[in-house]
């Protein structure tokens, strides 16, 4: 095969889709698991359907939206986001920084005062350019908002101090706050729900997020399942699999986590191996509660910056799509970043206690089942050295006809629709930059 794709997650499938349009029959897909989707998979348990990790679609690219609509026969739900932050016993509309009216008065005063002070400093130009996320938060939002939300939430999510994070990930993921928005909310209780990159989102009407993965899969070459790549010989252009099989390639598209790819590749200079070993990431424990009663509130997800709650976010899949839960039932997904090993049972007990205290569960008998799924790779951490290290690693791999793509392959915090867009755009570039050049005329998905 001229092109080998490792991984049948949404990035690998999207790259295969683009190759199918450009040069059908010249590529093969190998997946270590028994089904497609990667992190974009949906489980079915006791009549409940739920994604193994929460996903929705935002569509910043019209081309990607048109593609997804077409392959799903337009079977998408459009939802207006209902997101909140739980803070000091109350639900604050998202984004936190433009809904200060919902805060306790002392916190409101600290957040407003800090924001005004930071705004004045920016206007008179007395601040130097921020060099990290911690400095940016203080300069842009002020000390109060930083203290009560931005710092604790992001440290809980990423597992590092904000000063250790770079600035190359914050847009579009961290909504801004203009002076007029902050003041109008305080004066007239005006809501700013439309701020941020996902005020509206989409989700498949049936089948969960895996409906999308399977729809793409039906349009590409057959996937070879249970083929885990354990060795990539960069000189001989071969891949050896755990089941004993082997294949050659002219070019390789990998969606493996970048550190894992480097570890399994032969012919990598020791200096670059050390660079890959320094990359940081978060792991994730996702606890999905299948409930025999509907949910008390209609929100889609809630952020939790306070340390007393082990999860950084609760997601309510049955509010996103009612088809996911049987009639009269509900779903709650609790997301815990960097769980300590061997503590899953204790964490589940703590989460259950928190859900009862918050009123999401009235009694343990509400619970049909709790499904635990642990992800060793959840979010690549954008620390201060990430961009330099990743660029060196990707440049080296491309010089060996290997392209590493996707959230984990490119080692970049991104959404599912961004992963689709980037894979569709990458495939034609990969063909053009290969020694054999473009193998077909049509490299643009219709």
Break the chain into its structural domains and give their ranges: 3-40+60-75+206-280+382-433, 96-188, 281-380
Residue 435 clears pLDDT 90, i.e. is over it: no
Collapsed DSSP state (helix, strand, coil) of residue 88: coil
Distance separating alpha carbons of residues 431 and 420, to the nearest angstrom: 17
Q: Could you tell me what percent of the chain has a pLDDT over 90?
A: 84
> Mind listing the pLDDT tens digit for each residue in 370-423?
999 999 999 999 999 999 999 999 999 999 999 999 999 999 998 999 999 999
If you average pLDDT over residues 255-260, what whole number do you get?
Answer: 98
Neighbours of 54 (CB within 10 A): 20
Collapsed DSSP state (helix, strand, coil) of residue 376: strand
Distance separating alpha carbons of residues 62 and 272, to the nearest angstrom: 37
> Mind listing the pLDDT tens digit for each residue in 32-65?
999 999 999 999 999 999 999 999 999 888 999 9
Q: What is the pLDDT of residue 1?
A: 66
If you average pLDDT over residues 306-325, what whole number do you get?
Answer: 97
Neighbours of 438 (CB within 10 A): 15
Collapsed DSSP state (helix, strand, coil) of residue 12: helix
Classify domain 3-40+60-75+206-280+382-433 at the CATH superfamily level.
FAD/NAD(P)-binding domain (3.50.50.60)
Q: What is the pLDDT of residue 400?
A: 96
SS3 content of the chain, % helix, strand, coil (to 5): 40, 25, 40
Which alpha helices (DSSP H) does 23-128 contain, by range? Answer: 62-71, 105-124
**Omega of the bond leading into 403 within 30 degrees of 0 (cis):** no
Collapsed DSSP state (helix, strand, coil) of residue 258: helix
Tell me whether residue 395 is exposed, middle or buried, using C-beta atoms within 10 angstroms of its C-beta: 0 to 12, 13 to 18, 19 or more: exposed
pTM for the complete prediction? 0.93
What backbone phi and psi angles, to 5 degrees, belong to 307? -70, -20
Tell me whether residue 79 is exposed, middle or buried, using C-beta atoms within 10 angstroms of its C-beta: 0 to 12, 13 to 18, 19 or more: middle
204, β-bridge pairs: 76
Q: What is the pLDDT of residue 13?
A: 97
- Beta carbons of 128 and 138 less than 8 angstroms apart: no
Collapsed DSSP state (helix, strand, coil) of residue 252: strand
Residue 431 tokens read as 């063909």
> Mind listing the pLDDT tens digit for each residue in 185-219?
888 776 766 776 778 999 999 999 999 999 999 99
Distance separating alpha carbons of residues 376 and 338, to the nearest angstrom: 9
Choosing among 1.10.3720.10, 3.90.660.20, 2.30.30.140, 3.20.20.70, the CATH entry for 281-380 is 3.90.660.20
Distance separating alpha carbons of residues 147 and 352, to the nearest angstrom: 28
Cα distance between the two ends of the chain: 24
> Mind listing the pLDDT tens digit for each residue in 209-254?
999 999 999 999 999 999 999 999 999 999 999 999 999 999 999 9
Strands of the sheet containing 367-380, edge to edge, are: 90-93, 83-87, 301-303, 313-315, 330-337, 281-291, 367-380
């Amino acid at each position: 095969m001229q092109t080998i794709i490792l991984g049948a997650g949404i990035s690998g499938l999207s790259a295969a889709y683009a190759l199918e349009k450009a040069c059908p029959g010249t590529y093969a897909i190998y997946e270590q698991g028994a089904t497609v989707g990667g992190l974009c998979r949906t489980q079915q348990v006791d009549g409940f359907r739920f994604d193994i990790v929460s996903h929705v679609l935002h569509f910043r690219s019209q081309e990607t939206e048109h593609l997804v609509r077409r392959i799903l026969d337009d079977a998408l739900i459009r939802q207006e986001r209902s997101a909140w932050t739980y803070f000091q016993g109350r639900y604050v509309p998202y984004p936190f920084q433009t809904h200060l009216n919902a805060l306790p008065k002392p916190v409101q005063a600290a957040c407003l005062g800090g924001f005004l002070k930071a705004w004045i400093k920016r206007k008179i130009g007395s601040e130097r350019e921020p060099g990290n996320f911690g400095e940016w938060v203080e300069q842009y939002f002020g000390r109060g908002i930083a203290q009560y939300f931005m710092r604790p939430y992001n440290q809980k999510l990423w597992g590092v101090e904000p000063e250790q994070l770079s600035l190359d990930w914050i847009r579009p993921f961290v909504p801004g706050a203009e002076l007029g928005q902050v003041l109008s909310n305080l004066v007239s209780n005006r809501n700013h729900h439309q701020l941020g990159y996902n005020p509206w989102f989409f989700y498949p009407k049936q089948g969960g997020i895996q409906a999308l993965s399977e729809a793409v899969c039906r349009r590409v070459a057959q996937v070879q399942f249970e083929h885990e790549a354990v060795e990539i010989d960069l000189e001989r252009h071969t891949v050896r699999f755990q089941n004993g099989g082997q294949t050659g390639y002219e070019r390789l598209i990998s969606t493996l986590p970048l550190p894992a790819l480097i570890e399994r590749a032969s012919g990598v200079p020791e200096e670059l191996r050390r660079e890959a070993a320094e990359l940081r990431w978060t792991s994730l424990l996702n606890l999905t509660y299948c409930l025999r009663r509907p949910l008390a509130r209609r929100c889609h997800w809630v952020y939790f910056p306070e340390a007393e709650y082990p999860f950084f976010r609760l997601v309510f899949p049955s509010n996103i799509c009612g088809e996911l839960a049987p009639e009269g039932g509900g779903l709650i997904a609790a997301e815990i970043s960097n769980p300590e090993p061997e503590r899953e049972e204790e964490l589940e007990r703590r989460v259950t206690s928190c859900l009862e205290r918050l009123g999401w569960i009235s009694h343990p008998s509400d619970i049909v089942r709790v499904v635990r799924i642990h992800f060793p790779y959840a979010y690549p951490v954008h620390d201060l050295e990430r961009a330099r290290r990743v660029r060196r690693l990707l440049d080296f791999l491309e010089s060996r006809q290997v392209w590493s793509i996707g959230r984990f392959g490119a080692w970049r915090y991104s959404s599912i629709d961004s992963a689709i867009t980037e894979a569709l755009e990458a495939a034609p570039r990969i063909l053009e930059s290969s020694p054999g050049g473009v193998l077909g005329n049509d490299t643009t998905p219709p």
